[in-house]
C-alpha cells in the first residue's frame, strides 16, 4: 500500500511540474481537449443515426465553421466597435457618475474627498489613454500574435484529432488502470465525468443562452453597449452568480449615465437581468444541469482564481475539471475514512 501511495504521489508531482514548465505552450492543446470533450456526446448522437465517426466529426466541423464565419461577420465587428467606443467614452461616463454622486450628496462629495472636478477629469483622461495604448501594444507584440495564431490554428486541429480518436483514447486509459483497483477507479472516473459533464456542458449551454438573452434584451431596451455588456455578462456566468452581479452593476451604471432621470428606462435595464436570473434559476439550470453537479460555487470560484494565478489562462481551463476531480476524490476519501478503523475505533472491531 505504501508503495502504491508513493507511485501516485510521484506521478502527481511530475504531472504538476510538467504543467508548470510547459504552461506557456499548453493553451491550444488544453482548449482542444476541452472542445473535444464538450462535443463528444454530439458525435456519439450522430453515430447513433448510423453515421460513421468520421462523417459525424465532419458534420460537426462544418457546422461550427459556418457558425464561426457567421459570428465573425455579424457579431464580432459590432463587439469590437462597442468595446473601443466604451473605452473612449469611459472618462466622460465616470465624470458624469461623479457629478451625479456629488449632486446627490449636495455638493459635499468633492469637498469630503478633497477632489477638484477638473483634476478628476484630467486624471481619468491621462489614465485611460495610456491604458488603451498599452492594450494595443500588447496585441502588436510578436508573442501575442504567435499565441493568438496557435490558438486559432492549432486548437481546431487538436480538437478534430481528439474527437476522431476519443473512444480509443478512453479505452487505452482504461486498459492502464491497475487491475486490482479497476472497478473502484472506474467508479471514481464515472462520477468525475458525470460531475464535469453536468457542469461544463450544462453550465456552458446556460451561459450561451444567457449571453444571447442579455445581449438581445439590453439592445431592445435601448442601452448603449447593450450587446457588449450582455455577451460579457452571459459568458462570465460560467462562475455562478458572477455574471449577474458584474453584468447587472455595469448595465445599471451605464443605464444611469445614459437615461437619467428616466427611471423607467433604468428599471427596464435592471428588469432584463432580473428576468434572466429568474429564467436561469427556474428553467435553464434545473433543465440543463439538474442535481448532477455537486460543485459548490465558492469552490468553483476558488479553483478558477487559484489555477488562473498559478498557470494563467491554461489554469482557468483546467480549474473546473480539477475542481470536479478533487471534489469526487474528497467525497470518496471521506467515505473510506468513515468506514475505517481510524474513524470507527473499537466499534469497527469484528
How large a percentage of the chain has pLDDT more than 90? Answer: 1
Please tell me which residue, 106 or 24, carries the higher pLDDT value. 24
Identify the band that residue 178 occupies on the pLDDT scale cut at 50, 70 and 90: confident
One domain, residues 141 and 189: no
Question: What is the spatial distance between Cα 329 and Cα 136, in angstroms, rounded to a whole number?
Answer: 44
Query: Residue 106 in 3-state DSSP?
Result: coil
In a domain, 7, yes or no: no
**pLDDT, position 101:** 63
pLDDT of residue 140: 46
**343, part of any domain:** no
Q: Determine the pLDDT at residue 92.
A: 74
Q: Across residues 218-224, what is the average pLDDT?
A: 86
Question: How many angstroms separate the Cα of 238 from the Cα of each of 101, 122, 218, 235, 316?
Answer: 33, 37, 20, 6, 11
pLDDT given at position 118: 52
298 shares its domain with 328: yes
Hey, what's the cell of 295? 460543485
82 within a domain of the structure (yes/no): yes
End residue of a domain, out of 149, 175, 201: 175
Shared domain for 161 and 235, answered yes or no, is: no
Residue 109 in domain: yes
Among 27-31, 44-48, 107-111, 148-152, where is mean pLDDT lowest?
107-111
Same domain, 167 and 38: yes
Q: Of 175, 194, 225, which closes a domain?
A: 175
DSSP states of 19-63 as a string? HHHHTTT-HHHHHHHHHHHHHHHHHHHHHTTT--HHHHHHHHHHH
Q: Is residue 140 part of a domain?
A: yes
Domain range spanning residue 68? 26-175
Percent of the chain with pLDDT over 70: 75
Question: Please, are residues 244 and 257 in contact by the beta-carbon 8 Å criterion?
Answer: no
Q: Are 226 and 321 part of one and the same domain?
A: yes
**Assigned domain for 13 exists:** no
Same domain, 65 and 170: yes
Residue found under cell 514548465: 21
pLDDT level of residue 7 (50, 70, 90 thresholds)? low
- The residue from 123, 142, 175 where one domain ends is 175
Let me know whether 237 and 205 are in one domain: yes
In this prediction, residue 155 carries a pLDDT of 81
| Same domain? 197 vs 143 | no
* pLDDT of amino acid 98: 67
pLDDT of residue 292: 58
Encode pLDDT of 253-298 as tens digits: 888 888 777 888 888 888 888 888 888 878 877 777 665 566 677 7
Q: What is the pLDDT of residues 126-144, one digit of tens each?
A: 545 555 554 454 444 444 4
**Dihedral of the CA atoms 43, 48, 49, 53 (nearest 10)?**
40
- With respect to residue 139, please indicate whether it lies within any of the assigned structural domains: yes
Shared-domain flag, residues 263 and 230: yes
Residue 11: inside a domain: no
Q: Does residue 237 share a domain with residue 168?
A: no
How confident is the prediction for the chain on average, in pLDDT? 75
Q: Count up the domains in the chain and report the number.
A: 2
Is 67 found in the same domain as 207? no
Candidate from 44-58, 109-123, 134-148, 308-322 with smallest mean pLDDT:
134-148
Q: What is the pLDDT of residues 291-343, one digit of tens each?
A: 556 667 777 778 877 877 777 767 777 777 777 778 777 877 787 777 777 76
Torsion angle (degrees, nearest 10) of CA 101, 103, 109, 110: 110
Q: What is the pLDDT of residue 185?
A: 75
Are 152 and 202 within one domain? no
Amino acid at each position: 500500500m505504501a508503495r502504491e501511495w508513493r507511485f501516485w504521489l510521484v506521478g502527481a508531482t511530475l504531472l504538476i511540474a510538467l504543467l508548470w514548465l510547459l504552461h506557456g505552450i499548453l493553451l491550444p492543446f488544453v482548449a482542444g481537449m476541452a472542445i473535444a470533450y464538450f462535443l463528444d456526446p454530439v458525435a456519439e448522437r450522430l453515430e447513433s443515426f448510423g453515421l460513421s465517426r468520421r462523417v459525424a466529426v465532419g458534420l460537426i466541423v462544418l457546422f461550427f465553421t459556418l457558425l464561426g464565419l457567421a459570428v465573425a461577420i455579424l457579431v464580432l465587428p459590432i463587439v469590437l466597435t462597442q468595446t473601443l467606443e466604451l473605452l473612449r467614452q469611459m472618462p466622460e461616463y465616470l465624470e458624469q457618475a461623479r457629478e451625479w454622486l456629488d449632486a446627490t450628496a449636495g455638493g459635499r462629495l468633492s469637498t469630503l474627498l478633497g477632489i477638484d472636478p477638473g483634476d478628476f477629469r484630467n486624471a481619468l483622461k491621462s489614465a485611460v489613454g495610456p491604458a488603451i495604448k498599452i492594450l494595443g501594444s500588447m496585441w502588436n507584440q510578436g508573442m501575442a500574435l504567435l499565441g493568438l495564431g496557435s490558438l486559432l490554428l492549432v486548437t481546431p486541429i487538436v480538437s478534430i484529432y481528439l474527437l476522431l480518436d476519443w473512444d480509443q483514447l478512453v479505452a487505452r486509459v482504461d486498459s492502464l488502470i491497475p487491475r486490482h483497483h479497476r472497478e473502484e477507479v472506474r467508479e471514481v472516473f464515472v462520477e468525475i465525468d458525470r460531475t464535469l459533464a453536468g457542469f461544463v456542458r450544462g453550465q456552458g449551454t446556460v451561459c450561451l443562452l444567457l449571453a444571447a438573452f442579455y445581449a438581445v434584451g439590453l439592445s431592445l431596451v435601448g442601452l448603449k453597449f447593450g450587446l457588449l455588456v450582455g455577451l460579457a455578462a452571459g459568458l462570465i456566468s460560467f462562475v455562478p452568480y458572477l455574471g449577474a452581479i458584474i453584468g447587472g452593476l455595469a448595465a445599471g451604471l451605464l443605464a444611469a449615465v445614459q437615461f437619467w432621470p428616466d427611471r423607467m428606462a433604468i428599471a427596464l435595464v435592471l428588469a432584463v437581468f432580473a428576468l434572466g436570473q429568474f429564467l436561469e434559476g427556474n428553467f435553464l439550470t434545473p433543465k440543463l444541469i439538474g442535481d448532477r453537479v455537486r460543485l459548490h460555487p465558492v469552490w468553483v470560484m476558488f479553483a478558477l482564481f487559484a489555477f488562473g494565478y498559478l498557470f494563467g489562462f491554461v489554469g482557468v481551463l483546467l480549474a473546473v475539471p480539477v475542481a470536479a476531480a478533487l471534489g469526487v476524490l474528497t467525497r470518496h476519501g471521506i467515505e473510506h475514512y468513515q468506514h475505517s478503523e481510524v474513524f470507527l475505533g473499537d466499534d469497527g472491531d469484528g
